[in-house]
Amino acid sequence: MRHADSWRQKQALTNMEILIPGLALVALMVYVSTRIKRSAAKAFDEEIVESDEFTITKPAGFILPAGAKEQAFVAYSKEFGTDKADSVRQVTAELRIHAQSLEEVCESIVAAASKVVSEQHLANRSMILETENIGNGIALETEYSLIEKNDKVFELSVAALPETKEEQQRSIDALLASFEVK
């Protein structure tokens, strides 16, 4: 009888030796997971992006991808389109800086567009251009803010899927309105 009790006590101690580190590991995993989720959620908060040449505000619900090398700024919405556009973000914003004239950049955009919706020339060598493009059977409506300064043209394009553009319009307007060239 004593031998059975002794064996049970040893077994209980062995179980406790396993249980305590296991619980500590689970607690650590919950803590780390919570921190990761908070950090990921912060990536979608509003954020001001500033460089030596420009300032722009990324709206809430958008993310800045890592590794955008051909553009000075890239941000896109968290949400994707539907049906054929289910792999396309509802809104994508890109800022490119060109060593060309305003007219050359504008001509390039117009040549690539399926349709030019509007073209508005503003003061100080800047303009707003709206186009429609169809690629791979997917339509995109794009608004461009073009600003020429210091022998460079800053081209901010904000492309949106037509079926979700209305619900994303506030973010689109925030991107365009916040864009400033220094």
What's 158's domain CATH number? 3.40.1000.10
**84 and 7 within one domain:** no
For residues 158 and 91, the answer to whether their CB atoms sit within 8 Å is yes
**6 and 70 within one domain:** no
Q: How far apart are CA 143 and CA 132, in angstroms?
A: 9
**106 and 35 within one domain:** no
**101 and 21 within one domain:** no
Burial of 49 (0-12, 13-18, 19+ CB in 10 A): middle
Residue-number span of the structural domain to which 22 is assigned: 1-42
**159 and 130 within one domain:** yes
Q: Kindly report the average pLDDT of the chain as a whole number.
A: 87
**62 and 8 within one domain:** no
Q: What is the pLDDT of residues 32-53, one digit of tens each?
A: 777 766 766 676 789 999 999 9
- In this predicted structure, the answer to whether residue 13 has a pLDDT above a threshold of 70 is no
**107 and 75 within one domain:** yes
User: 78: pLDDT confidence band, cut at 50, 70 and 90?
Assistant: very high
| pLDDT at site 85 | 92
| pLDDT at site 10 | 65
% of the chain with per-residue pLDDT over 90: 64
**93 and 159 within one domain:** yes
**15 and 64 within one domain:** no
- Work out how many domains the chain is built from and give that number: 2
**1 and 66 within one domain:** no
**116 and 147 within one domain:** yes
Q: What is the pLDDT of residues 49-76, one digit of tens each?
A: 999 999 999 999 999 887 777 789 999 9
